Amino acid sequence: MLLLLNPLTYVEVVWNLGAALEYLSRMGCRRVLVQLPQGMTHASERFLSAVEDRSMEALLWGRPAYGACDVVDPEAAGADCLLHVGHLPFPWLTPERAVFYVPPTEVDVGAVADALADRRSVALGGPAGVLPWLPRVAGELRRRGVDAGICEGRGRARWPGLVLGCNFTSLLSCRGEPVVVSDGSFHALGLALLLGRPVVRVDPLGRAETVDPMPTLRRRYALIHGASGVRSWGVIVSDIPGQRREELASFLCRSIRDAGLRCWQVRVTEVTRAVDDLGLEALANTACPRVSIEDSPMHRIPILTPFETLQALRLAAGGRLSRKYVMDVMF
Ligand code: SF4
């Protein structure tokens, strides 16, 4: 059973742990697999105990979930139900008998509205935890004469206002200046890379900053240049269901070979430091695009997004770089 596909009904349920547990109970679950995101695994005992308090057995998935792209099938893990914490589901990747619980991020509605009160028109968005507050922020802004919108995105970001690290369509579907309401700058940086210009982020306490893509773009172009001289490539394909892009990987490997270079596909679950020691000189990553961007500093070899890989090939062939950086987005 996919719980409550109507976002409005869904919000009432999944932002409340008690209600999520009640659903699991009513579904007749006996063994519940608990899947937690990075940053919440330290609180695993709280979730496991809460499940057991409802007379269900609790199992813990032993790896933090990347996002809703990384939802485990409970049956494959020996459970009959899943409690996935921290993300809103992609309907096409949701196992039967799953409940999604998103702990809300406390947002100071007045302070966020204060930070944006001097704008004419804004589009509001943010990660799942802030979504319950966005309509109130928008209402407060409208009272102050600001045209504030919250729009539904496409594909994996189809919830009103939802922004993912790889999908910004909710902000781009709205008129008005896109504003990311979030704790960290991760989501705003992705949008800034996509747009090629600074993006405004307001944190839940109302502190605003401008996230500039230029420092990251400079690092990305340095990696592209570095990779333009290599002879052997690996193309990473993830076995995480919402990150697996087989066709793209085949296309990239073909393009690399057509350029007279060596290429092999590399199958992984996660892109760890171990990929540096595979004897390859550079990697094209078709898994989560943000892994290439965020984790590059910890790798000894270039790990490029698909667009960046094609740019490296173009440079290697004596061509010029594209004037526009293309952020790797997923639908
Ligand atoms: S692919 Fe990466 S950015 Fe996209 S939803 Fe998954 S973890 Fe988030």
Q: 140 alpha carbon to ligand 1 midpoint, in Å?
A: 31
CB 240 within 8 A of CB 93: no
Q: 106 alpha carbon to ligand 1 midpoint, in Å?
A: 23
How many structural domains are present in the chain?
3
So what's the pLDDT on residue 323? 87
Pocket-testing residue among 87, 243, 268, 327, ligand 1, by greatest number of atoms within 8 A of Cβ:
243
Residues 76 and 142 occupy one common structural domain: no
Residue 242's nearest CA partner among 152, 145, 325, 165 is 165
Residue 16's nearest CA partner among 40, 41, 50 is 50
Pocket-testing residue among 290, 293, 331, ligand 1, by greatest number of atoms within 8 A of Cβ:
290
Tell me whether residue 1 is in a domain: no
Of the residues 196, 212, 228, the one at which a domain ends: 212
Q: Is the minimum distance from the CB of 243 to ligand 1 under 6 angstroms?
A: yes
CATH of the domain at 194: 3.40.50.11850
Residues 95 and 124 occupy one common structural domain: no
Task: Compute the distance between CA of residue 312 and CA of residue 232 in angstroms, rounded to an integer.
Answer: 13
Tell me whether residue 322 is in a domain: no
**Other CB atoms closer than 10 Å to residue 203's CB: what's the count?**
21
CB 64 within 8 A of CB 36: yes
Q: 267 alpha carbon to ligand 1 midpoint, in Å?
A: 18
Residues 26 and 87 occupy one common structural domain: yes
So what's the pLDDT on residue 3? 42
Q: 246 alpha carbon to ligand 1 midpoint, in Å?
A: 16
Residues 115 and 75 occupy one common structural domain: no
Q: Which ligand 1 atom minimizes the distance to the CA of 68?
A: 5
Range of the domain at 251: 215-316
Tell me whether residue 79 is in a domain: yes
Residues 226 and 205 occupy one common structural domain: no
Residues 140 and 185 occupy one common structural domain: yes
Task: Compute the distance between CA of residue 305 and CA of residue 293 in angstroms, rounded to an integer.
Answer: 8
Residues 227 and 205 occupy one common structural domain: no
Residues 265 and 254 occupy one common structural domain: yes
Tell me whether residue 298 is in a domain: yes
Amino acid residing at 160? P
Per-residue pLDDT of the chain (331 residues; tens, 9 = 90+): 334 443 433 333 478 899 999 999 988 999 999 999 999 999 999 999 999 999 999 999 999 999 999 999 999 999 999 999 999 998 778 888 899 999 989 999 999 999 999 999 999 999 999 999 999 999 999 999 999 999 999 989 988 999 999 999 999 999 999 999 999 999 999 999 999 999 999 999 999 999 999 999 999 999 999 999 999 999 999 999 999 999 999 999 999 999 999 999 999 999 999 999 999 999 999 999 999 999 999 999 999 999 999 999 999 999 999 989 999 999 9
Tell me whether residue 331 is in a domain: no
Q: Which residue shows structure tokens 């999944």?
A: 14
Residues 207 and 219 occupy one common structural domain: no
Q: Is the minimum distance from the CB of 166 to ligand 1 under 6 angstroms?
A: yes
Of the residues 179, 212, 245, the one at which a domain ends: 212
Of the residues 101, 117, 135, the one at which a domain ends: 101
